[in-house]
């Protein structure tokens, strides 16, 4: 049995994505509406994206 811990895929908010790409959160939300970002998911009140789904941007 493999007991090696797996690394969780981090979930990023619009502000975290904006900070990494040096763009505004408004741009992140617009890209999401336009389909330039994967749909993401709601966790609480914030929309989040898996970092692995956004690797083409970083």
Q: How distant is the alpha carbon of residue 30 from its chain centre? A: 14
34 inside domain:
yes
**DSSP-based helix, strand, coil % in the chain, nearest 5:** 40, 20, 45
Domain that holds residue 29: 11-54
Please tell me the total count of domains within the chain: 1
Reported confidence tier of residue 57, pLDDT bands at 50, 70, 90: confident
Q: Are 7 and 45 in contact (CB under 8 A)?
A: no
pLDDT digits (tens, 9 = 90+) for 1-52: 666 666 788 999 999 999 999 999 999 999 999 999 999 999 999 999 999 9
């Amino acid at each position: 049995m493999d007991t090696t811990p797996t690394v969780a895929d981090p979930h990023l908010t619009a502000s975290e994505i904006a900070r990494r790409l040096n763009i505004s959160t408004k741009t992140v939300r617009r890209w999401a509406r336009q389909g330039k970002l994967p749909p993401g998911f709601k966790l609480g009140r914030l929309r989040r994206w898996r970092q692995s789904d956004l690797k083409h941007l970083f």
